Amino acid sequence: MRKFGLVSWGLTVLTALGGNSCSVMVAEGPGAPVGASRRAGDSIATLLATLEARVPELHRRPENDRYRLSLVLHPLDGGAPKVVVIARGLRASDYIHAARLIADDGRLLWFHAHENAAYDYRAGRLLMGRELPPGGPLGPMSMSRITPPKEWQEPTERFGTQYKRAALIRETPGGKPLRLAGPDGYLLTYRSTRALYGTMVLARVAEDGKVLWTVDTDLQDVEEILPGRDGMAVIGKKVPKVPDEVRGPTLILIDTKSGESRAKSLWI
């Protein structure tokens, strides 16, 4: 009798779990960026991997995990990000070593997720397989590499020696300084203090050295600089507020005209 009662109880529990599977699923975690972010039209594009909801296991096996891969577009004006789902149910091995942004040809943002694809950011349409235009991307193919921030910065003392590690933002990696108009000037970066843990400060300066606006990004470790005349972005990690605090990458969007800035987490 006792054995029958235990079996009956077990069947009852399994039936209940089956009928309420959503209640026992482990919720999906926040999405994490994969590879480098890049400009795409008037947005900053990032590939995002999200661990999907799963059935709990007594002894978790990572090979059973499944991921959703998405393309996220953060408008430079600070608006709500647009999330475009690329694929669901992927193993980490399906994309982790290959996922990357490839090129922006002015209309299509080309990338490789688990396969080649492109996003028409003007029409708002994802293209895969036979929908892809023949011949591949028309633009430069160097987007898959994360360009070190120092390649975007030209050291300078033109505006005085009071700035620590002063540098002008370049138009292209290793190229000439980015020149702004109305009024004519440049984007200057420097560290907030001469102490070891200063943060990155961005300022717009006129030709005569007058500072038009200043933004402290609050980023201690800068990972990417994505400049532009209409607006620019900086990606990095903020200064921890408490010891051992773990912070994900933060995207700082800056209006080059007004200096207005917005911070957005890349963990979505």
Are 99 and 113 a contacting pair, CB within 8 Å? yes
Instruction: Quote the radius of gyration of the chain (alpha carbons, Å).
Output: 24
More confident residue, 139 or 87: 87
Q: Over the range 126-155, which residues count as b (16 or more CB within 10 Å of their CB) and which as e?
A: ebeeeebeeeebebeeebbeebebeebbbe
Considering 87, 102, 131, which residue would you say is the last residue of a domain?
A: 131
The model's pTM = 0.84
Measure Cα distances from 253 to 79, 99, 260 in Å. Answer: 10, 24, 8
Whole-number pLDDT of residue 2: 46
87 lies in the same domain as 162: no
Containing structural domain, residue 37? 32-131
Q: Do 127 and 153 reside in the same domain of the chain? A: no
On whether residue 110 sits in a domain, the answer given is yes
pLDDT in tens, 4-31: 444 444 444 444 444 444 457 888 888 9
Question: 50 and 95 share a domain?
Answer: yes
The one-character DSSP state at 150 is G
Residues 98, 49 contacting (CB under 8 angstroms):
no
Tens digits of per-residue pLDDT, 117-176?
Answer: 999 999 999 999 999 998 777 644 444 567 899 999 999 999 999 999 999 999 999 999
Residues 197 and 89 occupy one common structural domain:
no
Of residues 75 and 195, the one with the higher pLDDT is 75
Residues 181 and 104 in one domain: no
Choosing from 76, 98, 131, the residue where a domain stops is 131
Can you tell me the mean pLDDT for 247-258? 93
Check residue 197 and give its pLDDT: 75
**Are residues 45 and 101 located together in one domain of the fold?**
yes
Task: Say yes or no: 156 and 254 in one domain.
Answer: yes
CA dihedral 256, 262, 266, 268 (to 10 degrees): -140
- Are 164 and 196 within one domain? yes
> Of 183-197, 208-222, 230-244, which has the strongest mean pLDDT?
208-222
Average pLDDT of the chain, as a whole number: 87
Whether 123 maps to a domain, the answer reads: yes
- Domain count within the chain: 2
86 and 42 in a common domain: yes
| In a domain? residue 141 | no
Domain membership flag for residue 46: yes
| 94 plus 182 within the same structural domain | no
Cα→Cα distances 79→73, 83, 113, 123, 262, Å: 10, 12, 25, 18, 10
| Residue 26 covered by a domain | no
Phi-psi sector, 121: left (phi>0), alpha (psi -120 to 50), beta = alpha
**Residue 17 confidence (pLDDT):** 47
8: in domain: no
Q: Specify if 205 maps to a domain.
A: yes
Of 214, 186, 184, 220, nearest in space to 200 by CA: 220
Please state which of the ranges 11-20, 51-60, 79-88 shows the lowest mean pLDDT: 11-20
Same domain, residue pair 120 and 155: no
Decide if 9 is inside a domain: no
Q: Are residues 250 and 163 in the same domain?
A: yes
CB-based contact 90:68 (threshold 8 Å) = yes
Q: Among residues 100, 131, 162, which one ends one of the domains?
A: 131
What sign results for the dihedral spanned by CA atoms 28, 32, 38, 42? positive
